[in-house]
Each structure stands twice: as structure tokens, then as C-alpha cells.
Amino acid sequence: MLDYVNLISCLNYNGSVQGKWTTSANWNWIVDPLNGEKFIKIAEVQGTEIKVSDFFAKLIQRVSPKSYQQALAEVQVSQKFLENFCGDQVRFLARSFAIPGNHLGQMSNGYRWPYGPVAIITPFNFPLEISLLQLMGALYMGNKPVLKVDSKVSIVMDQMLRLLHACGLPAEDLDFINSDGVTMNKLLLEANPKMTLFTGSSRVAEKLAADLKGRVKLEDAGFDWKILGPDVQEVDYIAWVCDQDAYACSGQKCSAQSVLFMHKNWSSSGLLENMKKLSERRKLEDLTIGPVLTVTTEAMMEHMNNLLKIPGSKVLFGGEPLENHSIPKVYGALKPTAVFVPIEEILKSGNFELVTKEIFGPFQVVTEYSEDQLDLVLEACEIMNAHLTAAVVSNNPLFLQASGFLLGWVSAFIFIFVILKLVISVMKPVRCRLALSLKKYLGDLSTVQHMLGFEQGPRALHKTTGLGQPVTREVQASELRKPSKLSGLATERSYMTSVPCPRTGRFLPPLNLWRFPVSKEV
């Protein structure tokens, strides 16, 4: 409520402000009639906010070792989530829909409806963010959740629940359990929740899917890849991002970088040297590298030694246990490690399962490929099972197109071209004049050539229609050796034949798009 006495006392007769504003001791919160009423205060900006954020960040560090900045980022993400769902946003989550039927009087209406009794099981690596976001989502929609956090880190959510209760969350709205996995599994089987949300290992996820007869939503393991394209740029920044993606939180993230496919152009750029320097800066004192809670040092060293048995493999950096520490042997303590494995060896049946085994720690595999080995990279990414996150580092649209990531769009255009070619094939008397007309709209000579059936190359097209210029293989080869620029004049590109761009005169290499399989995944 506004304090009108203080407001009037601060105004002169002409309406200007005099003195300073004073805070009234009589104001209180306006009751919000919406579903989000109980959660309005949680993300409130007050003078104590920094103290509360610092408390949770340091509490996370106590149980899930990570740097202060990583822990604080987890707190800040949680705060932003709560801010986003204050007030009306909770009500908007329950937006319904209506679809007209196929005859008069028929209509389909869909309503968001709570499951009722639900279960949430969360892991150790993000003790606040994952648990809080999933819990609040269940509460927003009117469910009655039982929350089970990994017992090693459950004190974080214990403190957050106390904060929620202090902000008005009714104590009876959720249940919080501390137990081992066997006990929780028994609870799920006997309580029979309508839906269970599980975040954790693939092994437990598969067991829950069978035990709960499919009434479960899963986020399990991820063997995550990153592809560096042929255009080398911002080497220092790319090295920093690779270091963060692979070794932040000591690699204990399901989104951590597991394998790096590096184009050969990056080999001489100093990328690996920069990654090594950055990894060596990590230390136990500030927890930029720390204990691995689910994999022992011996297990990680054994996996590394098995990789080194593959021909051509080598340790790029790391590969040694941490020194001068008191970490118990039940946990892992390994320096940030990268092992190089040749791309042609990765795809061999005896090696692929070993190379793509997820190590939930500071460990990654690095490999190198050339232009003619891009098929191997795509094949490796296609047959990996644990897809969660991925990255393609390139500003070169031709590389993105050639690597098949834009194949859906390209396939659509190819389909149109094929249909046009079938129609045009019955119009032989007007092919040359049609070529001139198509040139006006398409611009790309080789597209015109291929559509109209001129299979002898640009020389024949020039001879017949006056379009294009003869291109020799020597000139073509010399142009292909020039590095492609990421900026400048626009280039036009054929999808089958090497031709000069009509406006810029530059030559572009051919694309054989038919060799890339269309992925079944969207």
C-alpha cells in the first residue's frame, strides 16, 4: 500500500520533490490472486540478496566441488527462473487450446491438468538448479511431488525448502526424502506415482523405465561432441570455450564436451597448446579442478590406458593423478586430460564402444579430420547413442552445407530441381532460350546447366547459349587451394559442378550432396 502521508510531505506546492524519500513501516504486500502468489517473494531484490546468494554458492561448493563462479552461476540461474515465473507466468503455463472439428458442432478442447502424485529424482552435480527448477515446475501445475536428491548433496535443497517455507510455501505441498537408491525404488513401486522425473545415469534410467512401465521422463547420460570447421578464427576464445566445456565442474556435467573433432587446419593454429595452458591453470585451491564423485582415479587411468592401446593414440596433456591432496580413494582425482585418437581408428568396431564410453570426469577425446574424412565424422556422430548436447564451430556456410547439417533444406531444393528437369526434358526446342531466362532469375550457371541437361560442363553451356566461360582444371585447382573468406562479396554456388560466380568471378569447389545420408532424427 502507498504511504500517502510520506508522499505529500515530500512534495512542494509546485509538485517538485524536496528532501528525500522515506520508507514506510506500514506497507505490506498486495495479495496476488494468481497461482504464483506464494512464490512472489522468493526472487525479491533486497539488501540481503547478495548474502543469500553467497550462502548458497558456498554451500554448493561444500558438497559438489566446483569453482565459486560455477556455483554462483547455478544460484543465479535459479533466481532468474523464479523471477520469470512470478505472477501471471504461472497461470500462463496452464494455457489450454481448442481445435474445430470436421463437422458442425464438433470441437476438441485440451486442458493442462496436473498428474497429481509425482516423484522427482535429481543428481549430485547441480544440487540446487536441477532440483529447484523441476520441483517448482511440478508445484506450479498443482502436483504433489516427492523429492529425492542425491544424499551427498541433499543439504542444499534442505536449505532451499526452508527458504520456500519462509516465503509462504505450505509445508504440506511436497515431501522431501533422504534415502539410498534401493529404498527410493521400493517407494516408487509401492506408491505408484502418476509420473516420475529422473535425471541421472542411463543404467538407472533403463531400470526405472521398466519398473514404472513407462510412466517416467528421463534425462540421462550424454556423450557430447564438438566439430571445429575448416575456418580457423578466434583461436584463444575457442580454446577457452573448449576448456570450459570439457573441464568446468571437473567434467561432471552431462553436457560436458566428450569428444572434439578438429579440422586439420586447427593443428597449426596453437589451439591444443592453448587448451593445455588453460588446463594447467586449474588447481584444487580454487576448485577449478576437484574430486570426481562417481569415478575413481584408477578407473579413469584404466580407461586412458585402454585408449592408448589404439594405434596412433597419444596423451595430449594431463593423464596423471592430482598431487598433494587428501581426497579419499573412493573418489577420483585426475588432472584435466585429453587423449588423441585417429579418426579412422575410432570407427573400427572394436574401438568405437571404448572411445565413446562416457567418463564423468575431466576427460575428453580429441581427433583430427580432413576434407575427405568428413564422412567419417558424420558417421561417428550418427551412430553415437547418448545424444544430449553438440556444437558445430564454423562461420563457413559452405562447410555447414557440405557437412549435412543443412541437408534438409538442400534436399528440398534438389527435389524442386529434379522435378523441373523432368518437365524441361520434354521441351528440347526451347532449352537454350529457357536457359537464358533461368539465368536471369537463378544466376548460378551450373544450376541452369544441370537442370537443362548440359552434361559437358561450362564450356558446352557457353558454346550453346553464350553463358559462362571455359574453365580449366589447372585454374580450378589453383583456386581451390586459396582459403575461403568469411566476409566480402556474396558467392553463388552450384550443387554439382565447379563454375565461376557470375558477379565475383570466384571459383567454388563441387558438392556431392548425394553421399550424405539423411538423418532420421529431427
The catalytic residues are: 219, 254
271: closest CA among 333, 217, 229?
229
**Contacts (Cβ under 8 Å, ≥6 apart) of 385:** 223, 356
The H helix count followed by the E strand count for the chain is 20, 13
Separation of alpha carbons 334 and 252, rounded Å = 12
Give the three cell numbers for residue 99. 481445435
Separation of alpha carbons 380 and 365, rounded Å = 13
- 8 Å CB contact between 178 and 154: yes
- 8 Å CB contact between 83 and 26: no
CB count within 10 Å of CB 102 equals: 5
- 8 Å CB contact between 151 and 183: no
Beta bridge mates, 369:
263
- 8 Å CB contact between 196 and 121: yes
Helix (H, G, I), strand (E, B) or coil at 150: coil
**Contacts (Cβ under 8 Å, ≥6 apart) of 183:** none
Separation of alpha carbons 21 and 100, rounded Å = 56
Separation of alpha carbons 378 and 24, rounded Å = 65
15, burial (CB in 10 Å: exposed 0-12, middle 13-18, buried 19+)? exposed
- 8 Å CB contact between 116 and 194: yes
Separation of alpha carbons 384 and 218, rounded Å = 18
Give the three cell numbers for residue 76. 543465479
Residue type, 92: F
Length of the chain: 522
CB count within 10 Å of CB 128 equals: 24
CB count within 10 Å of CB 417 equals: 16
Q: Which helix (H) or strand (E) holds 147?
A: strand 144-149
231: closest CA among 269, 259, 258?
269
Residue type, 81: F
Helix (H, G, I), strand (E, B) or coil at 207: helix
What SS3 string covers 380-449?
Answer: HHHHCCCCCCEEEECCCHHHHHHCCCCHHHHHHHHHHHHHHHHHHCCCHHHHHHHHHHHHHHHCCHHHHH
DSSP H helices, 112-201, are 129-140, 154-166, 181-191
